[in-house]
Amino acid sequence: MRIVFSATQTKVQPWLEAFRVALPQAQVQEWQPGAAPADYAVVWRPPQQLFDEQPRLKAIMNMGAGVDALLEMRTPPQAVIVRIDDGGMAVQMAEFVCHAVIRYFRELDVYERDVAQGTWSFRKPRRREEFPVGIMGLGVLGQRVAEAVAHFEFPLRGWSRTPRQVPGMRCFAGAEQFDEFLAGTRVLVCLLPLTPETEGIMNRRTLGRLMPQSYVINVARGAHLVEEDLVALLDDGHLAGATLDVFRTEPLPEGHPFWKHPKVTITPHTSARTLRDESVAQIAGKILALERGEPIAGVVDRNRGY
């Protein structure tokens, strides 16, 4: 079995070594132009040339949960596309989102500013019933986040494409229930995949339907958000603030309004990182299962886009 590996933003050698340990029967190489035909490609944002030169791949193993960038490329049509499901990302996402929700709800940013000025001040306690948390996307990450947020006893709402039932959560589904979901949400969390249907889903109209003084947490993809609409709604006071981990252009360009906006907290696409040990174990396990002809989790539906 031959496996080619191609990933940007990571050191290649430790991945190759880990795959060679996990799959001793396989020949694992970093992809180079002209590489011999492989059975599997393990990739994160690879060059198009890889797929053009590897028409016989059985599967493309994406080293992340989101496959939006991969689905924009020309990939061999028979190759199964497989995403990482959880692989240690869900707990990271849960801690990141809980931190953002609590920081907003407990006004910790305001206390930080006060303390920096040497001020000892108290804010009136807030009622958590007035801060329903609405999660868009109830998949692997959205459900884990919901479970974590539930510990803090906020009212929970969730929205998905197809109807879901999540204990302790009021669930909404489909375009027809989207406005109702938004209207009762005070903290909006985006954990949707980026697809033609979800591109720009957070815009002036939809964010304008949230409860007054709402907070936006985008940890999915930058293109879910119309950035100038968010800024307008923050500036006119409808929205209280935002925590953004993902952006239309990454790294966030110099001079972008988010860098210095007093109501925006940014992080550099780091809310849930791909972890090497967990990912290698998961990908290797899936490759072995595919070789045995067994079904695996995380197979992407190319038509659905996730």
Rounded distance, CA 280 to CA 275, Å? 8
Rounded distance, CA 175 to CA 37, Å? 44
Among the candidate windows 59-67, 70-78, 105-113, 138-146, which touches ligand GLV by CB under 6 A? 59-67
Q: Shortest approach of ligand GLV to residue 274 CB, angstroms?
A: 6
Q: How far is CA 80 from CA 73, 278, 297, in A?
A: 14, 21, 12
Rounded distance, CA 158 to CA 137, Å? 7
Among the candidate windows 15-23, 53-61, 63-71, 209-217, which touches ligand GLV by CB under 6 A? 63-71
Q: Which does 160 bind (CB under 5 to 8 A by kind): ligand GLV, ligand NAP, none?
A: ligand NAP
Binding site for ligand NAP (CB under 6 A): 64-66, 89, 137-142, 159-162, 164, 191-195, 197-198, 219-221, 245-246, 269, 271-272, 306
Which of 144, 221, 224, 276 does the annotation list as catalytic?
221
DSSP SS3 for 89: helix
Report the helix count and the strand count for the chain, using DSSP H and E: 10, 12
SS3 string of 25-50? Answer: CCEEEECCCCCCCCCEEEEECCCHHH
Q: Shortest approach of ligand NAP to residue 212 CB, angstroms?
A: 24
DSSP codes, 237-302 = TSEEEEEES--SSSSPPTT-GGGT-TTEEE--S-SSPPPHHHHHHHHHHHHHHHHTT---S-B--T
Question: Is 221 among the residues known to form the active site?
Answer: yes
Q: Shortest approach of ligand GLV to residue 117 CB, angstroms?
A: 36
- Minimum CB distance to ligand NAP smaller for 31 or for 159: 159
Among the candidate windows 62-70, 112-120, 163-171, 208-216, which touches ligand GLV by CB under 6 A? 62-70
Binding ligand GLV by CB under 6 A: which of 28, 57, 65, 133?
65
For the beta sheet containing 239-244, the strands, ordered from the edge strand earlier in sequence to the opposite edge, are 169-173, 156-160, 133-136, 187-190, 214-218, 239-244, 264-266
Which of 83, 103, 269, 276 does the annotation list as catalytic?
269
Residues numbered 244 to 283 that lie near ligand GLV (CB under 6 A) are 274
Q: What is the CA radius of gyration of the chain?
A: 21
CA quadruple 9, 13, 18, 19: dihedral sign: positive
Binding ligand GLV by CB under 6 A: which of 22, 39, 40, 64?
64
- Minimum CB distance to ligand GLV smaller for 66 or for 158: 66
Binding ligand GLV by CB under 6 A: which of 22, 31, 66, 191?
66
Q: How many residues bind ligand GLV (CB under 6 A)?
A: 4
- Residues belonging to the active site: 221, 269
In the complex, the residues that contact ligand GLV under the rule CB under 6 A are 64-66, 274
